[in-house]
Structure 1
Amino acid sequence: MTVNDVLTVHGGTPLHGRIRVRGAKNLVSKAMVAALLGDAPSRLYDVPRIRDVEVVRGLLELHGVRVSDGAEDGELVLDPANVASANSDEINVHAGSSRIPILLCGPLLHRLGHAFIPDLGGCHIGPRPIDFHIQALREFGAVVDKAADGMHLTAPNGLHGTKLELPYPSVGATEQVLLTAVMANGVTELRNAAVEPEIIDLICVLQKMGAIIKVHTDRVIEIQGVPRLGGYTHRPIPDRIEAASWAAAALATGGDIEVLGAEQVDMMTFLNVFRSVGGAYEVTDMRPPRNGSPGQEGKIRFWHPGGELKAVALETDVHPGFMTDWQQPLVVALTQARGLSIVHETVYEQRLGYTEALNSMGATIQVYRDCLGGTPCRFGRRDFKHSAVIAGPSKLHAADLVIPDLRAGFSHLIAALAAEGTSRVYGVDLINRGYEDFEAKLAALGAHAERA
């Protein structure tokens, strides 16, 4: 953390205005990795300028992929014609900055016959073990050798299809299987797979490249390996996490924010809760150009309609449940709701630590080891504080805040914007991992914030 990594926020002003979200962070980086599998260039549109994209771009370029900016703002062209091995020391430069390197394994094994994984980073919200990633790669035929600098993988007999079942519908593990199975010899069947919108969009990318992937009912995905894949041209789904984060900011500050690019279909669960709390929204569907008339970008306007917000009980869950990345920003708004709100986090066991900072600002939040909200989950008997009770409304006051992880960081930022007085938020560069130009967007919404 540097001296410049501090944002001074003068709170108490409702946010009003219009911002735009681009392609989903949780799809764009994976689509970039998928380009490794092709024997022709790929073209990806609406790519946000965020740290995760920079990390993946650096890793791909280390492996010989030519990544260039296209003619359109936010367009990337990825040419894998000269894929080559990278030095482990160079790869380790990225160690600790992202968890993406694990997903390069399957594509690199197909293209080069070997791969290297450095120590993995990412947000500290739970162990997020890579054991299943490694086990799955072994099931495909990879040989994994652990070393002091990371893990070295080879595939002396190539990769072959297999049958796998996830103990939990993990997004990362599902992505690993998809990116490895598409060119493995034979058929792969994955049970208890994640089916998040970003997963389905990744399947669309791979299908455009020539993959054969069937999504069955009951979380079963069947992949028939093919000998070669081409490039793709793809515009990703919009970032539903960022859209919901700005929606929560509008609600917490008593504001009115129009989010261009946001789409209703993948936010239905969030929209139901947002309305239940007392928020208002208006959906404008995308309209393509027709008969010479200009098209219209889709958008959702979120605002606080006045009056008291209402307490709710919710549980995070895998799709189509309430997304875990939606809960931290929304909890800030729940501190302003009358009554007792209950949040039961069932996806990550250590995702409620950020509430201590909210309490230091005047919120009343108690965390529990019990499964509150009705449904027992896998953390219920493992001594993790994974349920929260939020009593409100609470008047928030300014404080000095240190950002612990990406989504909690944005929730701290919202709290500083909603609080009376001037807060200093440390570690704000971490927000750049997943929120493009967030400081410019704050300015566009009338926030009073500047670098220290």
Structure 2
Amino acid sequence: MDSIVIQGGNRLNGTIPVSGAKNSALKLMAASILTDQPLLLTNMPRLADTKFLGRLLKALGVEVTERDGADGQETLFHGATISSTFAPYDLVRQMRASFNVLGPLLARTGEAKVSLPGGCTIGARPVDLHLQALTALGAEIELDEGYVTARAPKGLQGAEIAFPIVSVGATEHALLAAVMANGTTVLRNAAREPEIGDLARCLTAMGARVDGIDSDVLTITGVSSLGGATWSVIPDRIEMGSYAVAAAMAGGEVRLTKARADLMQALSAKMVEAGVEITPTDDGVIVKRDPAQRLKAVDLTTEVYPGFATDLQAQFMALMTTADGQSTIQENIFENRFMHAPELARLGADIAVHAGSAVVTGVPTLRGAPVMATDLRASVSLVIAGLVAEGETTVGRVYHLDRGFEKLEDKLTACGADIRRVKGDEHDH
């Protein structure tokens, strides 16, 4: 397995272009099932996760063409005919988001058999809210041997759905299914993440009727069919935030481009509080920190959007490991999301975890060591810590990183980091 080797101590100075959002691209890809017309997605990230879903879409009969366009990377999806409504375990287990083909298959063909997603290391994340929403829309659902078999012989029917908790996945899945249901669907307590707004706007461009975009009540008036569209994937706010934290950690000045400052306001506020300079620009932000000045410890609580994103918690914890004072980080979204803490401790961090909160006492310096990535966001926190750790840090199991970060080493190297990828077989000889 590949690993990433970092020699700590270099400042970061330069420009990093932010890729399209993984969490948006995956749901937009699923939307291609809803139409027999071509859907062209521009600003497409090239990631392990998008490759997995592309493979599944091909198995269902959607033509998937990756290419370079005028605006960078783009992918053309064309599901002229859906040749299969079966999503097998070996294609779904690699990534949870592939479960979201269930609703679109049901909406377009009236039936689907989709594997339940495999386990996820960061907590339960059950799909029961997804299935409850589809049932409310009139789907007949059976669970058997790890598969969901769903039928809507008379088509899906509009319904009132009030989510008991805010769920990004269930909101997106209900939206994907409801756009072609008969009648009107109202989603209450809907998640408000920017990626959901991106999906709703793309569906609208395809001919869907969605009101209340970016609010917690979405009203969807079903249409009989959707057409094609060209849509630019929203910038990845988690990637943007991760590089902002990396720049703050290492010190220096980094300009993040092809991005949007408004997508990371909760993070920016905390970073400014800690002593980082953040200046919005017309296409992103400039992150600046004088390495001679030690950061101040600040407390943090993760919340649903527009609060502080759980997907940036590990990165912020890394930033706090060398801050002056003590910070308390409260994780309210996923129950098992401090697996990076013991790995950061291997670099010399002082972190005490108690159930859903962690107390980080800043230390003057971190020291390089071998560490292991446990999940996607945790892995980048170890890279961030490695940028300042004295000596060499080796991050193992970086296939987690490849799920969500495109050309990570190239982007950091361009700003002066000493970071390289070592292929798995180099370690073995």
TM-score under structure 1 length normalisation: 0.89
Aligned-residue offset at 1:405: 0.3
- Separation (CA, whole Å) in 1 of partners of 2:107 and 2:214: 29
Aligned-residue offset at 1:446: 2.0
* 3-state secondary structure, aligned to 1:274: helix
2:383 is the counterpart of 1:397: no
Aligned-residue offset at 1:87: 5.2
Q: Is the 8 A contact 1:248 1:330 kept in 2?
A: yes
1:117 to 1:173, Cα distance in 2 relative to 1, 3 A:
same
* 3-state secondary structure, aligned to 1:321: coil
Counterpart among 389, 392, 400 of residue 422 in structure 1: 392
* 3-state secondary structure, aligned to 2:91: coil
- Matched residue, 1:440: 410
Aligned-residue offset at 1:395: 1.6
Letter in 2 for 1:410: V
- Matched residue, 1:98: 95
Q: Which moved more, 1:29-38 or 1:256-265?
A: 256-265
1:266-298: CA deviation from partner (whole Å, max 9, x where unpaired): 12221111111111122220xxxxxxxxxxxx1
- Separation (CA, whole Å) in 2 of partners of 1:254 and 1:443: 15
- Separation (CA, whole Å) in 1 of partners of 2:4 and 2:214: 47
- Separation (CA, whole Å) in 2 of partners of 1:122 and 1:413: 25
Letter in 2 for 1:195: R
Q: Is the 8 A contact 1:37 1:107 kept in 2?
A: yes
Aligned-residue offset at 1:256: 2.5
- Matched residue, 2:46: 49
- Separation (CA, whole Å) in 2 of partners of 1:104 and 1:95: 10
- Separation (CA, whole Å) in 2 of partners of 1:87 and 1:168: 29
- Separation (CA, whole Å) in 2 of partners of 1:41 and 1:68: 11
1:226-254: CA deviation from partner (whole Å, max 9, x where unpaired): 11111111112211110110111111122
1:389 to 1:444, Cα distance in 2 relative to 1, 3 A:
same
Counterpart among 13, 17, 27 of residue 30 in structure 1: 27
Aligned-residue offset at 1:70: 4.1
- Matched residue, 2:306: 320
Q: Residues 171-186 of structure 1: matches in 2 within 5 Å?
A: 171-186=168-183
2:6 is the counterpart of 1:20: no
- Separation (CA, whole Å) in 1 of partners of 2:215 and 2:239: 28
Counterpart among 191, 203, 206 of residue 206 in structure 1: 203
* 3-state secondary structure, aligned to 2:81: coil
- Matched residue, 2:112: 115
Q: Is the 8 A contact 1:186 1:224 kept in 2?
A: yes
2:65 is the counterpart of 1:68: yes
* 3-state secondary structure, aligned to 1:338: coil
Tell me which stretches of 4 or more aligned residues in structure 1 moved more than 6 Å. Answer: none
Number of equivalent positions: 419
- Matched residue, 2:165: 168
Aligned-residue offset at 1:400: 1.3
2:294 is the counterpart of 1:304: no
Letter in 2 for 1:221: L
2:236 is the counterpart of 1:250: no
- Separation (CA, whole Å) in 1 of partners of 2:299 and 2:68: 47
Unaligned runs of 5+ in 2: none
Letter in 2 for 1:194: A
* 3-state secondary structure, aligned to 2:324: strand
- Matched residue, 2:223: 226
Aligned-residue offset at 1:95: 3.3
Aligned-residue offset at 1:447: 2.0
- Separation (CA, whole Å) in 2 of partners of 1:119 and 1:430: 21
* 3-state secondary structure, aligned to 1:117: strand
1:442 to 1:112, Cα distance in 2 relative to 1, 3 A:
same
* 3-state secondary structure, aligned to 1:152: strand
Letter in 1 for 2:269: N
Q: Is the 8 A contact 1:362 1:394 kept in 2?
A: no
- Separation (CA, whole Å) in 2 of partners of 1:333 and 1:14: 15
Letter in 1 for 2:288: W
- Matched residue, 1:371: none
- CA RMSD for the aligned pairs? 1.7
2:341 is the counterpart of 1:355: yes
1:255 to 1:393, Cα distance in 2 relative to 1, 3 A:
farther
- Separation (CA, whole Å) in 1 of partners of 2:159 and 2:91: 31
- Separation (CA, whole Å) in 1 of partners of 2:57 and 2:122: 27
Aligned-residue offset at 1:217: 8.8
1:181-210: CA deviation from partner (whole Å, max 9, x where unpaired): 100111111111101111111110011111
Q: Is the 8 A contact 1:85 1:112 kept in 2?
A: no
Counterpart among 140, 154, 179 of residue 157 in structure 1: 154
- Matched residue, 1:240: 237
Aligned-residue offset at 1:110: 2.0
Letter in 1 for 2:334: Y
Question: Percent identity among equivalent residues?
Answer: 39
1:13 to 1:119, Cα distance in 2 relative to 1, 3 A:
same
Q: Is the 8 A contact 1:21 1:262 kept in 2?
A: yes
Counterpart among 355, 375, 379 of residue 409 in structure 1: 379
Q: Is the 8 A contact 1:62 1:86 kept in 2?
A: no
Q: Is the 8 A contact 1:98 1:122 kept in 2?
A: no
Q: Is the 8 A contact 1:145 1:151 kept in 2?
A: yes
Aligned-residue offset at 1:21: 1.0
